[in-house]
């Protein structure tokens, strides 16, 4: 980094690019989180990364069984009123899951 552009350019300052609202500086508006960028500078490895996430999830779901831990979770499981997107709602209270190999 250039000392003419950044104060203490040679030091590691993890909050250097954070805005006051916790987002990144220069990303005001609707585009606060764009994991692969956009336009001309869009990440060329985005398809590769998405493909590997799909492989990971497929492998995980194929080789493991997921079930609610009835001993630790409060039953019956109820959901809250806040929609988390994609029709998902967060359960009220803690939800413990058992993961076992198939």
Q: Give residue for tokens 């060329």.
A: 44
Where does the pLDDT of residue 75 fall: very low under 50, low under 70, confident under 90, or very high at 90 and above? confident
Where does the pLDDT of residue 25 fall: very low under 50, low under 70, confident under 90, or very high at 90 and above? low
Contact assessment for residue 9 and residue 2, using Cβ atoms and an 8 Å cutoff:
yes
Using only C-alpha atoms, what is the Rg of the chain? 21
53: left (phi over 0), alpha (psi -120 to 50) or beta: alpha
pLDDT of residue 92: 82
CA atoms of 24 and 54, how far apart (whole Å): 28
pTM reported for the whole predicted model? 0.51
DSSP letters, 7-42, are TTTTS--TTTTB-TTSSBTT--SS-S--TT--GGG-
Residues listed for the chain: 102
pLDDT of residue 55: 97
Does residue 62 or residue 40 have the better pLDDT?
62
Q: For the chain, give the percent of residues with pLDDT over 90.
A: 27
């Amino acid at each position: 980094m250039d000392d003419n552009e950044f104060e203490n350019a040679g030091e590691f300052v993890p909050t250097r690019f954070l805005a006051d609202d916790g987002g990144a500086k220069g990303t005001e508006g609707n585009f606060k989180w764009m994991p692969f960028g956009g336009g001309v500078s869009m990440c060329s490895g985005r398809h590769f990364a998405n493909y590997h996430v799909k492989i990971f999830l497929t492998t995980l779901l194929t080789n493991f069984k997921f079930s609610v831990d009835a001993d630790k979770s409060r039953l019956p499981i109820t959901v809250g009123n806040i929609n988390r997107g994609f029709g998902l709602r967060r359960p009220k209270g803690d939800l413990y899951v058992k993961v076992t190999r198939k």
